[in-house]
């Protein structure tokens, strides 16, 4: 730790604008664990600006899939509604952070005056949680398709057992060897058996 | 060998030259393998272009200037060597506001000065009766729509910051917001004006081409550093876009172009709505009234595709007028340098002074004038004088 004495500053008020409740929960949980207590999640885009003005946050995090992001850009403009000027997302010089956050699919808006060293951990956490969510979603997709494959294979096995009088074990071996010979996935071979049996009905 | 490019766009009709360039194979013929990525916000398009996730993008002209000058966000110099379109916007109002304006109209309702004066009356009446100020939707702080709305209403003395509310709305939310009476009017490009009319929730009051006959709208923007490293690729991209624009402007191709744009992965709206905009003939009222203006949307014809630095100067002047930018000769020069007719000419193998080349280069000596329905003649040489005669004084950066 540096020589500076610990500064007792209040936790910055953070608003998460995200229509995905799961991702927002993952992020909120991470922020709370890291000691950021003032976190509010907005999932309703109706009158977004007035809600943000009322909350008067220090940091706003928004996902890049959200069309309402353009609405937030209005906060840079001089206007009666803005109590404090909102700066742009990260420091101009910190292009690596900008790149990382755009890559992760999130953008941060920060009220002018908040110190860079206070923003960095929030942004880093946000980026890693967004990436974790994307990975989770990816795994979920893969698990789903594996489950689909499994169902298709089971049905194809059933057809082979019935038509060729095979045991379950034999039916599976036949599927697997065919897949290897044709350089295809077992799921694909099973699907073609289902399609063929559908046609021949 | 083909060069892979990632290009971002917002699903709007003025992305036509880009979408047709790819979907009709004009980019492939130039040796480019373009992946088009639809985006949901202008902020995303700007940021993904700025950080290099996109090589090029369909971008609103004022955003290209703001990004290059560092207004409102991170400063990343961009260049525009092809105009995707001139004009193409309209002001659409709710049936209630339409009726209120028509009651006050004195003269030709297609004359934007007449509607602006009528709006001024409506605004005054509402203020007297203690009604909420009217709310106008537009697409982005640094948007043509913002400046066009302001230019129009200010011509009749309506102060866009004091007398009405201007709010940013993503284009796909415009129609819904009008239907739910969250806004009284909006300025946006098509298909959204036509969709509001088709659903019976809006009347097109004025085409922006009646307010500014030649207003640059979207550009094909790239990072300046990328343009310097990839001059041949940029030239090939511009040539493909020029071929696409030529194709789009042939009336016999309109149905095919509309089908290409209507595809769910492009715009996902009915082809007939797109055809109306391409034909510059729009249904302006739910009762079926049509209105036509040959300049409603220009994609390449009449020299529309060639970037004109005077247009950049006009946009910069609007930023200054409305307090978004300071007035400085250096900023003006930098804004104008975003628009590169020289790169456009070079892509087409034209040399300065060739026939068909209107301008020699970025010099402001021979610029085409930017006309408007009202106000002083625009002069990029004398921005201060132009702004002064619009009533601009240095009070604009307010702090209340």
Are both A135 and A148 inside the same structural domain? no
| Residue-by-residue DSSP string for B195-212 | HHHHTTS-EEEEEHHHH-
| Residue whose entry in the numeric block shows the structure tokens 């400063």 | B75
As a whole number of angstroms, the distance between CA A104 and CA B318 comes to 35
**What pLDDT score does A119 carry?**
77
Q: Which residue, A105, A124, A139, sits at the end of a domain?
A: A139
Number of structural domains chain A divides into: 2
- Residue B336 near residue B370 (C-beta atoms within 8 A): no
Beta strands in B145-234 (DSSP E): 165-168, 185-189, 203-207, 216-223
Q: Which residue, A94, A110, A139, sits at the end of a domain?
A: A139
Q: In this predicted model, what pLDDT tens digit does every residue of A44-85 receive, in sequence order? A: 887 888 888 888 888 889 998 888 889 888 876 654 444 555
**CA separation (Å) from A156 to A42, A152, A167, A199, B131?**
47, 6, 13, 14, 70
Which residues of chain B have a CB within 8 Å of the CB of A65? 40
Task: State which H helix or E strand residue A107 sits in.
Answer: strand A106-111
- Residue B2 near residue B31 (C-beta atoms within 8 A): yes
As a whole number of angstroms, the distance between CA B25 and CA B164 comes to 46
Are both A45 and A93 inside the same structural domain? yes
Q: Do B47 and A102 touch (CB under 8 A)?
A: yes
As a whole number of angstroms, the distance between CA A134 and CA B124 comes to 52
> Is A99 in CB contact (< 8 Å) with chain B?
yes
- Pairing type for strands B185-189 and B89-93 reads antiparallel
Q: At A174, which CATH number?
A: 1.10.10.10
In DSSP terms, A16 is beta-bridged to A41, A61
Query: What is chain A's length?
Result: 201
Are both A92 and A180 inside the same structural domain? no
Q: At A60, which CATH number?
A: 3.40.190
> Is B181 in CB contact (< 8 Å) with chain A?
no
Are both A121 and A73 inside the same structural domain? yes
Are both A192 and A101 inside the same structural domain? no
Q: Do B40 and A49 touch (CB under 8 A)?
A: no
The answer to whether the complex's ipTM is over 0.90 is: no
Copy the structure tokens of residue A170.
Answer: 């034999």
Are both A130 and A59 inside the same structural domain? yes
**What pLDDT score does A78 carry?**
53
Give SS3 for B138.
strand
Are both A44 and A58 inside the same structural domain? yes
Residue A68 inside a domain? The answer is yes
Q: Do A69 and B41 touch (CB under 8 A)?
A: yes
Which residues of chain B have a CB within 8 Å of the CB of A69? 40-41, 43-44
Copy the structure tokens of residue B10.
Answer: 């917002």
In DSSP terms, A114 is beta-bridged to none
Helix and strand numbers (H, E) in chain A are 7, 5
Copy the structure tokens of residue A54.
Answer: 């009322």
- Sorted by where each starts, the structural domains of chain B and their CATH numbers stand as 3-86+215-264+301-389 (3.40.190.10), 89-211 (3.40.190.10)
Are both A40 and A91 inside the same structural domain? yes
**What pLDDT score does A125 carry?**
86
Are both A38 and A104 inside the same structural domain? yes
**What pLDDT score does B363 carry?**
38
Question: Among candidates A47, A51, A65, which has minimal Cα distance to B167?
Answer: A47
**What pLDDT score does A8 carry?**
59
A44, A45, A50, A56: CA torsion to nearest 10: 70
**What pLDDT score does A132 carry?**
84
pLDDT band at A93 (very low <50, low <70, confident <90, very high): low
Residue A8 inside a domain? The answer is no
As a whole number of angstroms, the distance between CA B165 and CA B177 comes to 14
Q: Mutate one of A60, A70, A108 to test the B interface: name it (highest B CB count within 10 A).
A: A70
- What average pLDDT is seen over chain A? 82
Q: Do A65 and B74 touch (CB under 8 A)?
A: no
List Cβ neighbours of B390 (8 Å cut-off, separation of 6 or more): B154, B321, B375, B376
**CA separation (Å) from B131 to A75, B123, B124, B134?**
25, 9, 10, 9
Phi, psi of B78 (to 5 degrees): -120, 160
- Residue B92 near residue B185 (C-beta atoms within 8 A): yes
Percent of chain A with pLDDT over 90: 26
As a whole number of angstroms, the distance between CA B155 and CA A11 comes to 48
Are both A72 and A126 inside the same structural domain? yes
- Pairing type for strands A106-111 and A86-87 reads antiparallel
> Is A74 in CB contact (< 8 Å) with chain B?
yes
- Pairing type for strands B185-189 and B216-223 reads unpaired
**What pLDDT score does A133 carry?**
84
Q: Which residue, A91, A107, A139, sits at the end of a domain?
A: A139
Residue A5 inside a domain? The answer is no
> Is A65 in CB contact (< 8 Å) with chain B?
yes
Residue A4 inside a domain? The answer is no
Domain that includes residue A184, residue range: 142-199
Which residues of chain A have a CB within 8 Å of the CB of B11? none
User: Going residue by residue through chain B (400 aa), what tens digit of pLDDT does each one get?
Assistant: 689 999 999 999 999 999 999 999 999 999 999 999 999 999 999 999 998 999 999 999 999 999 999 887 788 999 999 999 999 999 999 999 999 999 999 999 999 999 999 999 999 999 999 999 999 999 999 999 999 999 999 999 999 999 999 999 988 889 999 999 999 999 999 899 999 999 999 999 999 999 998 899 999 999 999 999 999 999 999 999 999 999 999 999 999 999 999 999 999 999 999 999 999 999 999 999 999 999 999 998 888 999 999 999 999 999 999 988 999 999 999 999 999 999 999 999 986 555 443 333 333 344 456 778 888 888 888 999 999 988 765 444 433 3
Angle at B174 between CA B65 and CA A102, to 5 degrees: 50
Residues of B (304-343) whose Cβ lies below 8 Å from A: 323-324
Give SS3 for B221.
strand
End-to-end alpha carbon distance in chain A: 74
Are both A132 and A194 inside the same structural domain? no
Are both A169 and A124 inside the same structural domain? no
Question: Among candidates A155, A136, A137, A138, which has minimal Cα distance to A196?
Answer: A155
**CA separation (Å) from B247 to B19, B244, B254, B302?**
12, 5, 9, 14
Which residues of chain B have a CB within 8 Å of the CB of A92? 70, 74-75
């Amino acid at each position: 730790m540096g020589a500076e004495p610990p500064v007792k500053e209040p936790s910055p008020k953070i608003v998460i604008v995200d229509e995905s409740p799961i991702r927002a929960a993952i992020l909120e949980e991470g922020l709370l664990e890291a000691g950021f207590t003032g976190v509010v999640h907005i999932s309703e885009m109706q009158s977004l600006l007035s809600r943000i003005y009322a909350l008067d946050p220090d940091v706003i995090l928004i996902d890049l899939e959200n069309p309402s992001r353009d609405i937030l850009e209005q906060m840079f403009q001089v206007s009666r509604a803005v109590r404090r000027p909102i700066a742009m997302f990260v420091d101009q010089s910190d292009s690596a952070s900008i790149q990382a956050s755009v890559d992760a699919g999130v953008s941060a808006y920060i009220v002018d005056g908040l110190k860079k060293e206070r923003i960095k951990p929030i942004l880093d956490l946000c980026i890693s949680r967004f990436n974790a969510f994307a990975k989770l979603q990816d795994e979920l997709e893969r698990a789903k398709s594996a489950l689909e494959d499994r169902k298709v294979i089971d049905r194809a096995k059933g057809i082979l057992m019935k038509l060729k009088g095979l045991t379950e074990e034999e039916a599976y071996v036949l599927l697997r060897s065919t897949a290897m010979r044709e350089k295809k996935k077992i799921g694909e071979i099973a699907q073609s058996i289902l399609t063929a049996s559908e046609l021949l009905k | 060998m083909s060069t892979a490019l990632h290009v971002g766009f917002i699903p709007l009709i003025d992305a036509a030259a880009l979408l047709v360039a790819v979907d009709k194979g004009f980019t492939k013929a130039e040796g480019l393998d373009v992946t088009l990525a639809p985006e949901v916000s202008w902020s995303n398009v700007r940021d993904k272009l700025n950080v290099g996730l996109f090589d090029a993008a369909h971008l609103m002209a004022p955003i290209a200037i703001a990004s290059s000058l560092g207004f409102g966000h991170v400063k990343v110099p961009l260049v525009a060597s092809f105009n995707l379109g001139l004009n193409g916007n309209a002001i659409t109002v709710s049936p209630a506001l339409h009726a209120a304006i028509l009651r006050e109209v004195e003269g030709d309702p297609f004359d934007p000065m007449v509607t602006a004066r009528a709006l001024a009356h409506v605004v005054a009446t509402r203020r007297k009766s203690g009604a909420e100020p009217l709310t106008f939707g537009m697409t982005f702080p640094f948007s043509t729509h913002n400046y066009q709305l302001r230019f129009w209403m200010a011509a009749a003395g309506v102060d866009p910051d004091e007398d009405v509310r201007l709010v940013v709305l993503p284009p796909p939310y415009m129609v819904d917001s009008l239907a739910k009476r969250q806004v009284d009017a909006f300025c946006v490009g098509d298909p959204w004006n036509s969709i509001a009319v088709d659903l019976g929730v809006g009347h097109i009051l004025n085409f922006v081409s009646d307010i500014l006959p030649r207003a640059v709208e979207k550009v094909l923007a790239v990072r300046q550093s990328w343009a310097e490293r990839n001059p041949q690729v940029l030239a090939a991209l511009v040539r493909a876009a020029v071929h696409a624009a030529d194709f789009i402007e042939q009336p016999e191709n309109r149905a095919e172009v509309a089908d290409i744009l209507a595809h769910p992965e492009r715009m996902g709206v009915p082809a007939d709505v797109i055809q109306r905009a391409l034909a510059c003939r729009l249904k302006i009222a739910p009762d079926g009234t049509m209105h036509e203006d040959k300049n409603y949307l220009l994609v390449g014809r009449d020299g529309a595709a060639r970037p004109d630095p005077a247009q950049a100067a006009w946009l910069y002047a609007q930023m200054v007028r409305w307090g978004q930018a300071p007035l400085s000769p250096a900023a003006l020069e930098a804004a104008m340098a975003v628009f590169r007719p020289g790169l456009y000419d070079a892509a087409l193998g034209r040399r300065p002074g060739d026939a068909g080349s209107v301008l020699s280069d970025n010099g402001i000596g021979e610029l085409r004038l930017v006309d408007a329905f009202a106000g002083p003649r625009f002069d990029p040489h004398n921005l201060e004088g132009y702004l002064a005669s619009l009533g601009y004084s240095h009070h604009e950066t307010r702090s209340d």
